[in-house]
Structure 1
Amino acid sequence: MGLKSVLSAKIEVKANKDVFHDVFIHKPHHVSTMCPMHIQDCELLEGVFGTVGSKISWAYKHEGKKMISKQIIEAIDEEKQITTFKEYEGDIVNKYENVKATFHIDAKDDTDLVCWTIEYERPNEDLPELISLMEFIVSLIKAVDDHHANMN
């Protein structure tokens, strides 16, 4: 059994919160056009975008390296705008185990927050926490937010 870790981030956004749920769940293939510095490609491998059991492949650049992430959508709660992805193949799961990411939208007062939580296991203490991956995700959310905020 590995060392279990959980990282979370809540990012305040200017664009309408519903935009993020729509983009990351139903139209992830549009992300590469919104922020090509982060995401180079998103491909549907199996199923239909926005449905449980669908498999998606992401090509992205992180820490100067081209990387791949293959995920399956494990759960979607449209009403609460919560989605869980399980990483099943790619650069991250080559080193880390049981990698899951949960995406949800939170609204407090007049503030909309995009929230990401990454759960994973490190096989040993020599492997670093995925802090740089969370920083990448925060930067990605900000780029998508800027893209949509500038459209208005």
Structure 2
Amino acid sequence: MVLAGKLITELGIKSPGEKFFKLFASELHEVHKVCERVHHAKLHEGEDWHHNDSVKHWTYVIDGEVHTCNEQVEEVDEQNKKITFKLFGGDIENYKVLKLILEVIIKDNGTSALRWTIDYEKNNENVDTPNGWMDYLSKSTRDIDGHLVKGENVVL
């Protein structure tokens, strides 16, 4: 059985890609206000939500169940509009590695898409592949995109 792998999905979005990237790069603390699957988010360690040393604690719903984990920004590539988040603790204990990689793709015709990659390594073969995460990310993307399309400010 495979212990490590990647799950990838690309989703077209209606909002400007730059706006979506900005939300995740500098306004991440607002995501729980526009996404019904994120119940709570708080700064767990550090002074700034977007510093690589800061740790955030998240409460969210996957497959109808409430979960928790900690998250840390591992890398922000402003030029390529790519952010890597490392998840750990809480309900992530069954994985040696669980990373969420967000890439905003600006297409030649002016439209945008998001590519989510889940990079994972399970502790053992009894651990499920994180397929529920892909559904969570897809639905959360739709929530956030809908909010951004309305032209509302992220700060509520």
Give the TM-score, by structure 2 length.
0.87
Paired with 2:81 and 2:147, the residues of 1 have a C-alpha distance of 21
Cα distance in 2 for partners of 1:59, 1:17 equals: 26
Structure 1 runs not aligned, ≥5 long:
none
- Counterparts of 1:1-152 in structure 2, within 5 Å, are 3-35=3-35, 37-45=36-44, 46-91=46-91, 93-110=92-109, 111-151=111-151
- AA in 1 matched with 2:96: E
Offset, 1:29: 1.7
**C-alpha deviation, 1:71, in angstroms:** 1.0
Q: How far does residue 140 in structure 1 lie from its aligned partner after superposition? A: 0.2
From the superposition, tell whether residues 41 and 137 of structure 1 become closer, same or farther in structure 2 (CA, over 3 Å): same
Distance in 2 (CA, whole Å) between partners of 1:32 and 1:73 is 17
**Contact 1:25/1:50 (8 A) holds in 2:** yes
1:47/1:81 CA distance change after superposition, 3 Å:
farther
Specify the code of the residue in structure 1 equivalent to 2:43: L
Query: Which residue type is aligned with residue 114 of structure 1?
Result: L
3-state SS in 2 of match to 1:126? coil
> Contact 1:47/1:55 (CA < 8 Å) preserved in 2?
no
Aligned AA for 2:39? Q
How big is each residue's C-alpha offset from its partner over 1:78-106, in whole Å with a ceiling of 9 and x where there is no partner?
12211111112121x22122111111211
Which consecutive aligned stretches of 4+ in structure 1 deviate over 4 angstroms post-superposition? none
Aligned length: 149
The alpha-carbon deviation at position 65 of structure 1 amounts to 1.5
TM-score by length of 1: 0.89
Residue 68 of structure 1 aligns to a residue whose secondary structure is strand
CA distance in 1, matches of 2:149, 2:19: 10
Identity of aligned residues (%): 24
* CA distance in 1: counterparts of 2:74 and 2:88, whole angstroms: 11
Any conservation in 2 of the 1:76–1:83 contact (CA below 8 Å)? yes
Shift of 1:113: 0.9
Partner Cα separation in structure 2 for residue 44 and residue 9 of structure 1: 28
- Contact 2:100–2:118 (8 Å) recurs in 1: yes
